Amino acid sequence: MRLVPLVPFNLLNYAFGLTSISLPDYVLASLVCMLPGTIAYTWLGYAGRSAAAGDMSALRYGLLGLGVLAMIAFAPHLFRRFRVKEPAWIESAELQQRLAAGEPLVIVDVRQPEEFAAPPGHLPGAINVPLAELANRTPDIAARKQVIVVVCKTDRRSARAAIELLAAGLQDVTVLRGGTDGWYQQGLTLE
């Protein structure tokens, strides 16, 4: 938000005070994000004053300042490219239809082995990869080259696991909304 000059900084200061952002993080982010704009505006002012006094070489400084301001304007678009991709979600009914149609899917259940084996069970054909072991087993999952559906009891752990898989470079990752609880509540079979 500090990179967007349209949002008043005073209003942002109060808004950030209501969040859980720590003071050192707030100060560092403010410094890093506000310093380039401050330097560019100062440079532009200096170049304008020099140009008004008849120094035409100051025009270079002005153009350089405008260039820095343009970079600051496009910085949010640049940072947006580096954000972690959000996982897609799938409903139980849609997953059931896709399984019935025989689509090649890898269902990864990220619960602990005792949860995976305990009643009411797990989704048909699911493989158990506990969340703590996911980083080590990601290459095995990626080698299957199929759409990955991540499942847990509800959908909290599976959402975290999906973000981890996407960050590791896997593409087709979805999360079962409601997890095995939602699947079971709809009367769908578990193994």
Q: Are residues 104 and 68 in the same domain?
A: no
Token representation of residue 76: 């949010």
99-111 average pLDDT score: 94
Whether the predicted pLDDT of 148 surpasses 90: yes
Residue 86 is given by DSSP the state P
C-alpha span between 153 and 116 (Å, rounded): 9
Total number of domains in the chain:
2
Whether the predicted pLDDT of 75 surpasses 80: no
Residue type at 20 in one-letter notation:
S
Mean per-residue pLDDT of the chain: 85
Whether the predicted pLDDT of 5 surpasses 70: no
- Among 81, 114, 145, where does a domain finish? 81
Tell me if residue 152 is catalytic: yes
Q: Are residues 92 and 150 in the same domain?
A: yes
Cα 9 to Cα 3, 19, 70, 145, distances in angstroms: 10, 15, 19, 47
Q: What is the pLDDT of residue 3?
A: 61
What is the DSSP pairing of strand 173-176 with strand 88-90? parallel
29-36 average pLDDT score: 80
**Which tops the pLDDT comparison, 177 or 66?**
177
- Among 24, 53, 81, where does a domain finish? 81
Q: Which residues of 15-28 are buried (b: 16+ CB within 10 A; e: fewer)?
A: ebeeeeeeeeeeee
Q: Which domain holds residue 30?
A: 9-81
C-alpha span between 124 and 127 (Å, rounded): 9
Of 152, 165, 166, 173, the active-site residue reads 152
Q: Which helix (H) or strand (E) holds 151?
A: strand 147-151
Residue 54 CB coordination number (10 Å): 7
